[in-house]
Amino acid sequence: MNHKMPWNLAQGTGPIMEILAAFFVGLCCVLLSNGIEVEALHNGCQNFQSHTVMLQEKQPYRTSFHFQPPENWLNGMNRPMWYKGVYHLFYQYNPYGALFGDIMIWAHSVSHDLINWIHLNHALCPTEPYDINSCWSGSATILPGKGPVILYTGIDSNHRQVQNMAVPKNLSDPLPEEWTKFPQNPIMTPPDGVEGNNFRDPTTAWLSPDGKWSVIIGSWSNNQGMAILYRSEDFVNWTKYQDPLYSTERTGMWECPDFYPVSVNSTNGADTSVLGAGFKHVMKASFNSHDYYLIGTYAPGMQKYIPDNDFTSTSKDLRYDYGKFYASKTFFDIDKNRRILWGWVNESDSIEDDTDKGWSGLQSFPRHIWLDRSGKQLVQWPIEEINKLHGKKVGFLHKKLDSGSVFEVQGITASQVDVEVVFELPELQEAEFLNPTGVDPQLLCTDANASVKGKFGPFGLLALATKDLTEHTAIFFRIFKGLKGYVILMCSDQSRSTLRDEVDKTTYGAFVDIDPRREKISLRSLIDHSIIESFGGEGKACITSRVYPKLAVHEEAHLVIFNNGTLSVTISSLNAWSMNKAQIKHKENFIGKASH
Ligand code: DQQ
């Protein structure tokens, strides 16, 4: 059924942009001139304000430079965007408590630099039959020459997942804080064969060469995870395409899909609609608690995505992060010509402790993401703006780490630090043999934790460690000779991260696709009180963990380098920066610098 538009189309026909112009202008005018004041003047979020909790001063697990709301539960991201000189972060939020809630809303924060943030009023809250039971995830699309449109999943009065649309109430506002829901919502309802609880999380839309917009919705149907494709000429009336853009029997239900081009020969990003020989396409899906991705080719003529390699349901499948990282989204930062990835990093603590501390969930540090030169995987690296928070630096070059050595990196605030260490391995040929075929790196790291001696490794960092090392999180490498070259194993071992028992201490692991004969074995870790984000091989493998030391907090935390292998390794360089605290405040502190 075609939605009846409550406004006249712009004079002089054609095409899409005029229809869209009419949508924006018309929607605001109709709503305002019709005097639907509740809709026009409020977004209903005034009824969903949090009961402000005074969090205990100096909580040991609050972060200093990772984004988190002042209190309560945060989960998966809604697509971030850059608009009129300001970065916008929308996220899933329970305004009423520290656990996932029956009523979820879109919270909204803004930033000039992706580091310091201002919390604005909530953007979308359940008010209408089509979203009365929650406003779940979705994405923003910036319509060229027009402005942002949000597509989001509403949980309707029948508890069905439906897709809805919203636009800024005031398009001239450089910080669109109030969002107006489209009166004809929902614009998509679960199609035949798709259950009402398996139809969610619209992506940013892209414009195809035939002039139509496309968007995908995460789903599960006929035992297949899938990206259901919808197409539209006017961004208002959407038609389901006969086949999904991609589907597979080797995954669960797809949450928060993401689909975007990556350049084959540069680290630059590209707008979601970009096509051409110089680009591959990434398809990402969140399922089974992890964010998996494929690299492949998008054939817009056939409306098909053709991955270079399919999912396998094994540990060989590519993941953004091999630790705790879920429901992520990317966006194209047109200002700096890069694509940025953010993920939700959930707690590993007990429900009782989450409730007591009054909050749950963080955003990862924003990561610049691009296609590796090999074309086989993505690479991620903390955005350069992190330098703004760098405080005192310590560093050294060429230090030999004999077997059994342990030494402290002194002079930094070890509970909030950015550290990068590069290792050299003399006598590489001495490495033990490992046939990696069919080996799950996480199991390998679990079976041989940091206390188990090898030849080359374990060596690496002990983060958030007590002086006597009773508590520590070990992020380390083991190097093996493989069938063809070398095998680099990277582990994050949480088993001794805290003396507390009730915490999930799962160990994580990944193989890092580097050749130590030619490439550096490097490890960078962003350590921030209860989160450690680690980047191995200059961002080829990432592992994020949540840890809750009992003793190694604030000034009692230490950063230590260790080598528990029988062979010595050399640190070719180490640099560590104490991190300053990011400013994350409420909106009265925002000094608008947005451009019009
Ligand atoms: N969380 C949202 C859903 C999404 C899931 C609800 C991802 O839209 O599928 O808060 O964590």
Distance 209 CA to ligand 1 centre (A): 31
CB atoms within 10 A of CB 65: 21
pTM to 2 decimals? 0.92
Task: Kindly give the confidence (pLDDT) of every residue in the chain, 596 residues in length, as a single tens digit, with 9 standing for 90 and above.
Answer: 454 333 222 222 233 334 344 444 444 333 322 222 323 335 788 878 765 555 556 799 999 999 999 999 999 877 789 999 999 999 999 999 999 999 999 999 999 999 999 999 999 999 999 999 999 999 999 999 889 999 999 999 999 999 999 999 998 888 899 999 999 999 999 999 999 999 999 999 999 999 999 999 999 999 999 999 999 999 999 999 999 999 999 999 999 999 999 999 999 999 999 999 999 999 999 999 999 999 999 999 999 999 999 999 999 999 999 999 999 999 999 999 999 999 999 999 999 999 999 999 999 999 999 999 999 999 999 999 999 999 999 999 999 999 999 999 999 999 999 999 999 998 899 999 999 999 999 999 999 999 999 999 999 999 999 999 999 999 999 999 999 999 999 999 999 999 999 999 999 999 999 999 999 899 999 999 999 999 999 999 999 999 999 999 999 999 999 999 999 999 999 999 999 999 998 876 444 433 33
Question: What's the token pair of residue 421?
Answer: 């260490």
- Identify the residue whose tokens are 């030999």: 400
Output the DSSP codes for 289-333. Answer: TEEEEEEEEEETTTTEEEESS---SSTTS-BS-SSS-EEEEEEEE
Rounded to the nearest angstrom, the gap between the alpha carbon of residue 200 and the centroid of all alpha carbons in its chain is: 17
Round the average pLDDT of the chain to a whole number and report it: 90
Distance 193 CA to ligand 1 centre (A): 21
Single-letter residue type at 327: A
Write the residue with the smallest CA distance to atom 10 of ligand 1.
136
Atom of ligand 1 nearest to the CA of 161: 8
User: What's the rounded Cα separation, in Å, for the pair 273 and 530?
Assistant: 38
Element housing 370 (H / E)? strand 367-371
Distance 453 CA to ligand 1 centre (A): 41
Question: What's the token pair of residue 361?
Answer: 């969930």
Write the residue with the smallest CA distance to atom 6 of ligand 1.
136
Distance 255 CA to ligand 1 centre (A): 7
Residues having CB within 6 Å of any atom of ligand 1: 75-76, 92, 104, 136-137, 153, 200-201, 255-256, 327
Which one-letter DSSP state was computed for residue 373? Answer: T
Residues pairing with 578 in the sheet: 417
- Cα R_g (the chain), whole angstroms: 24
Domains of the chain are: 8-39+71-380 (2.115.10.20), 389-579 (2.60.120.560)
Which one-letter DSSP state was computed for residue 2? Answer: P
pLDDT tens for each residue of 293-334: 999 999 999 999 999 999 999 999 999 999 999 999 999 999
271 burial via Cβ count (<10 Å: 0-12, 13-18, 19+):
middle
Atom of ligand 1 nearest to the CA of 92: 10
